[in-house]
Structure 1
Amino acid sequence: MRLRPIYLAIAVLLLLVLAYTAWWVSAAQQLRRTVAEMTATEEALGNHISPREPSVGGFPLRLALRLDQMEWRRPDGMALIAGGVEAWARPWNPLTIRLDIDGNARLSLPPGPSHPPAILEAKAGEGTLLLDGEGQPKQAHLTLTDPVAEIPGITGSLKAGLLDLTWTKPAVPPVGPGAATGTLNLLARTITLPGRVLPPLEKQITELALQAELRGILPPNPDIAALRGWSEAGGTVELTSARLLWGKLDLRGNATLALDANLQPIGAGSAELSGSDVLVDMLVQMQSLKPEQGQAVKTALGFLSQQTPDGRRAVRVPMTIQDRRFSIGPIKVGMVPEVKWD
């Protein structure tokens, strides 16, 4: 008689295990159906997806979907290829989806008649996708290890030790041409520049961090006409904060970016600049300034610099991008690569 409570507890436990197992199997079947519907939609648009039937597993603590030798291609040449991708969620928290990328991943943007595709590659990566109560994405986060980028207009590859991206959907749906449609946070570390770098600038950038807010509504797959319409309607990118650590150069600021009539980036903002002597020395190396002129500029910037709360000496300077020229104050730092949209 004393064993009956034990038998009852075991029976209840078995029923719970069976119920959970049945629920997990049902959820896995629903996941397969959802993926099949998404695949059919993509193929109806002319896109290629492989494999068509991913594996589903992770029982009992995860509900996971895995794609080995994944490939997604659009007719315009845009493609995403990865050795392996796994998306998974805890059964008790289905609105938080984790992403693991193993094997080399490669994203190719559409090429144009006059330029090759822009390419981003990474050895591995991980991310998180947060969904709202209706199952719609509200935030996406992705971290890539050892990314390499090939950008039209730049000779050679840009390499970094880390690239971290976060896209956040606005809490309030955008209304009107100037409404905020999303916020991007970008962090890149240990960026190795291609080609020759003029001294005293270094070949490696320590860190680039920025937060940008997109204003104006763009279609999901914008073409040149859509970009022009977005620009003419007042579409901008508000760079709310940015920081560039490049050797002794420390640049922090904000700016408003837009597109000109040729769909090339233009912008204006302000920055706190520490280590301005580096830029002056570079201009002397370029023979844009004579040595005595460079020394005079250094002296003037020294008088204009002020102590910052964190102990740096910094000078407040304007930043501009006009006709593809990037200038910090009166100093032309370099040319912005031409963006080829066709």
Structure 2
Amino acid sequence: MRRRTFLGLAALGLLVVLLGTYAAYWLIAAGQVKDGFSAWAEAQRARKVDISWARIDISGFPLAYRVDLEKAVLHDGRVTPSPELRIPLLAASARPWDFANWQLTASDGIAASLAGAGERPPLKAVAKTAAGVLRVGESAGAALWLRLREIEAEAGARVPISSADVWITLPPNPSRSPADPGLGLAVDLRQIQLPGISPVLGDEIDQLAFAVTVKGAFPGGKLAEAASAWRDAGGTIELGNLQLKSHGLSASATGTIALDGELQPVGGISGAIEGYDQILAALVENGHLRASDAGLARLALAMLAKAGPDGKPMIATAFRIQNGQMFLGPAKLGRAPRIAWQ
């Protein structure tokens, strides 16, 4: 009996020691996590990226580390005007054995903005809620996935968006040549409202998804000067897997985009369009095309069309921007929207 009691007390004592040791480890690591966030923010300031917060708390004992930031602000001073990101409340959590993966939650939403300049109106995007995952690694760079809900984008006109998935990837090292991939961005937008903006797509786009990879290093400085230097160094944007679906219209495309001497987009995109009849009908309904011309175009397009994966007529075509004009195949669509850099 005494031996059993002794063994029980010994086991209990060992358990207490182990728990105490783990608690001490957790507290030490919590301090290192907090100091690590501060050191990371300080390192970014040296690169002219100001990251600040009103308060930081560490919790989650015993099986997680949860970092809560209040009134977090990111101000990128590398370019002018400087983009800004504001997050009223950001929670990031990771397991004690896996600091490479962080679960993110912004329950009060996020807001991104870029001040207007010259002819360019202010740019703003606000999401009511956001959640995602951040993966970091010294050899693999960083990858961020976010799911945004109830978004309102504004660039001269208000564009509500039901939801969006966003993927951002950063290489472990900055680009050194125009061929090196830099920032990678993939976006999947759903239920985009376009009241009075597009005569072809109507008032709503069901889905718009695309992926872009910026080739070449984008320098700091004034936005127009930085874009000019990036262009002169051979920088381009690779567009991949563009998918658009809207009221029976479906389009897919890939291509390359660059900037011309006036810092306006130029490039070629190849893809396919399904539902071209809806485009012609919308153009006629909105007075952009005569019914007789639409009939001739419909006959010509029908001869070019082939059956798509779902059996519906599909046209393989090319879209290009050249000398400020947009072309769909041989057809001239009109002037391309200009980018106001300043």
Q: Which TM-score band (shorter chain)?
A: 0.7 to 0.9
Aligned to 1:139: 143
Shift of 1:274: 0.5
CA distance in 2, matches of 1:234, 1:16: 59
In the alignment, is residue 19 of structure 1 matched against residue 21 of structure 2?
Answer: yes
Aligned to 1:259: 259
Contact 1:306 1:315 in 2 (8 A): yes
Aligned to 1:179: 180
CA distance in 2, matches of 1:324, 1:137: 37
**1:329–1:29 Cα change, 3 Å:** same
Aligned to 2:339: 339
Correspondence for 1:107 among 99, 108, 112 = 112
Contact 1:251 1:273 in 2 (8 A): yes
Structure 1 residues 118-173: Cα deviation after superposition (integer angstroms, max 9, x where no partner): 11101010121111146x7421112211111112xxx4211111111112245887
**1:219–1:64 Cα change, 3 Å:** farther
Contact 1:43 1:49 in 2 (8 A): no
CA distance in 2, matches of 1:336, 1:57: 52
CA distance in 1, matches of 2:51, 2:146: 23
- Residues 207-216 or 113-122, more deviating: 113-122
Equivalences for 1:186-335 in 2 at 5 Å?
186-198=187-199, 201-219=201-219, 223-331=223-331
Shift of 1:54: 0.9
Shift of 1:331: 4.9
CA distance in 2, matches of 1:263, 1:277: 34
Aligned to 2:63: 61
In the alignment, is residue 122 of structure 1 matched against residue 122 of structure 2?
Answer: no
Correspondence for 1:149 among 132, 149, 153 = 153
CA distance in 1, matches of 2:166, 2:273: 25
Shift of 1:40: 4.5
Aligned to 1:83: 88
Say which structure is richer in strand. Answer: 2
**1:186–1:333 Cα change, 3 Å:** farther
| Normalised TM-score (structure 1) | 0.87
CA distance in 2, matches of 1:43, 1:184: 24
CA distance in 2, matches of 1:237, 1:130: 24
Classify the secondary structure of the residue corresponding to 2:237: strand
**1:336–1:12 Cα change, 3 Å:** farther
CA distance in 2, matches of 1:69, 1:13: 41
**1:48–1:252 Cα change, 3 Å:** closer
Contact 2:244 2:252 in 1 (8 A): yes
CA distance in 2, matches of 1:295, 1:125: 47
Contact 2:64 2:95 in 1 (8 A): yes
CA distance in 2, matches of 1:74, 1:18: 43
**1:82–1:307 Cα change, 3 Å:** same
CA distance in 2, matches of 1:335, 1:148: 27
CA distance in 1, matches of 2:170, 2:202: 36
Shift of 1:337: 3.7
**1:15–1:86 Cα change, 3 Å:** same
Shift of 1:69: 3.0
CA distance in 2, matches of 1:228, 1:46: 21
Paired AA for residue 95 in structure 1: A
Contact 2:208 2:242 in 1 (8 A): yes
Paired AA for residue 67 in structure 2: L
- Residues 321-330 or 243-252, more deviating: 321-330
CA distance in 1, matches of 2:293, 2:116: 45
CA distance in 2, matches of 1:334, 1:56: 56
Shift of 1:39: 4.5
CA distance in 2, matches of 1:262, 1:300: 36
Aligned to 1:7: 9
Aligned to 2:52: 49
**1:34–1:264 Cα change, 3 Å:** same
Contact 1:183 1:211 in 2 (8 A): yes
**1:249–1:334 Cα change, 3 Å:** farther
Query: Percentage identity across aligned positions?
Result: 27
CA distance in 2, matches of 1:79, 1:306: 47
**1:173–1:105 Cα change, 3 Å:** closer
Q: Which structure 2 residue ranges, 5 or more long, are not aligned? A: none
Alignment root-mean-square deviation, CA: 2.7
